[in-house]
Amino acid sequence: MKAVCFVKSVPDTETRVRLTGNRLDKSEIKYILNPYCEFAVEEAVRKKEAGIVDEVLVISMGPSRAQEAIRSALAIGADRGVHIEDDNLDGSDAIVTARVLVEAFKKEGGLDNYQILLFGLRAIDGDTWSVPSMIAELLGIPAVTNIVKLDINGNKAIAIRMVEGGEEVFEVELPCVFAARKGLNEPRYPSLPSIMKAKKKPITRYTISDLGIPSDAVGKVGSFTEVLEYTLPPQRQAGKKVEGEPEQVVEELIKFLREVANII
């Protein structure tokens, strides 16, 4: 059985966002492998180490920096990468992204070759949490998103999905999409030899014409939504800060809760 992981390059979690006019200023952003994708790759690699999976493919769509995200995944232990890069892709929304990723996946043999499709629950830049479900829908297969446990048994899987106030235990037949969250596993820190080895692993590159996708089906033109404007959220102001005897500061807090926050 083979597994495929879809990974994305995203701004570092420490990033402070700056705007130029009402557009995003990307000049000083550092990029990392999306933390949620790390859980996905780690899970696939563990399934390989457990002898359940014999190949882990990594697919990423994005500008040249997506190569680094793929290399990070290869350093965790994935076997090879696919990088879809094309200037026309700039401005693509989740629906276009899902369609392009599906075409690349099909080019690699699709569901005939890969039965376990792993994703991060969310990419921490767009925060749409939608590409995994969209790809499952396009492929006509089930999906279990937000998983904290994944057991594979022959062509069946038991996946535990965290929902508000509890957990749903899904039983599914493969092929299936799984979207990982924190708690599924503890991603390893790749060793230096693994990082060196990752540099030699193959990465196949596709443009959209390699995938048979016309340029007007992607990017801003092909998308169903467009970002019209970026603004910064209202800056929070530091409010009142008190120090002193517990009884006295608690009294002031009670006053705040009653008169300002209105909750008691």
Partner 1 sequence: MVLVVAEAREGALRKPAKEALSEGRRMADKLGAKAVAVIIGEGVKTLLKEISGYGMDKIYVADSAFLKYYHPMAYARIISEVVAKESPKVVLMGGTQTGRDLMPRVAIRVGGGYAPDCTGYEINGDSIIAVRPAISGKVIVKVGFKKYPAFMVLRPNVFGVNEDIISVSSEVVEISFEPTEVERKQIVKEFSIKTAGRPELTEAEIVVSGGRGLKDAANFAMLEELADLLGAAVGASRAAVDAGWRPQSDQVGQTGKTVSPKLYMAIGISGAIQHLAGMSSSKYIVAINKDPDAPIFNVADFGIVGDLFKIVPVLIERLKKEKARS
Ligand X SMILES: Nc1ncnc2c1ncn2[C@@H]1O[C@H](COP(=O)(O)O)[C@@H](O)[C@H]1O
Ligand Y SMILES: Cc1cc2nc3c(=O)[nH]c(=O)nc-3n(C[C@H](O)[C@H](O)[C@H](O)COP(=O)(O)OP(=O)(O)OC[C@H]3O[C@@H](n4cnc5c(N)ncnc54)[C@H](O)[C@@H]3O)c2cc1C
Site residues for ligand X per CB under 6 A:
6-8, 34, 36-37, 59-62, 94, 97, 101, 119-120, 122-123, 126-132
Phi, psi of 252 (to 5 degrees): -65, -35
6 is in the binding site of which of ligand Y, partner 1, ligand X, none (Cβ under 5 to 8 A by kind)? ligand X
* Integer angstrom CA distances of residue 106 from 101, 154, 198: 9, 23, 24
Distance between CA atoms of residues 173 and 202, nearest Å:
31
Token pair, residue 49, equals: 């180490």
Q: Does 165 bind partner 1 (CB under 8 A)?
A: yes
Q: Does 215 bind partner 1 (CB under 8 A)?
A: no
Q: 97 vs 185, which CB is nearer to ligand X?
A: 97
Classified as helix, coil or strand, 40 is helix
Q: Does 13 bind ligand Y (CB under 6 A)?
A: yes
Q: Total residues at the site for ligand Y (CB under 6 A)? A: 2
Among 5, 45, 94, 218, binds partner 1 (CB under 8 A): 94
Phi, psi of 139 (to 5 degrees): -90, -10
Residues 19-78 that bind ligand Y (CB under 6 A): 35
The answer to whether residues 98 and 75 touch, using CB atoms and an 8 Å cutoff, is no
Q: Does 211 bind partner 1 (CB under 8 A)?
A: no
Q: Does 256 bind partner 1 (CB under 8 A)?
A: yes
Q: 56 vs 177, which CB is nearer to partner 1?
A: 177
In sequence order, what DSSP letters do the residues of 120-179 get, joined into one string?
A: ES--TTT----HHHHHHHHHT--EEEEEEEEEEETTEEEEEEEETTEEEEEEEESSEEEE
User: Euclidean distance between the first and final Cα of the chain, in Å?
Assistant: 58
Q: 127 vs 243, which CB is nearer to ligand X?
A: 127
Among 9, 60, 115, 146, binds partner 1 (CB under 8 A): 146
Give min distance, CB of 146 to partner 1, in A: 6
Binding site for ligand Y (CB under 6 A): 13, 35
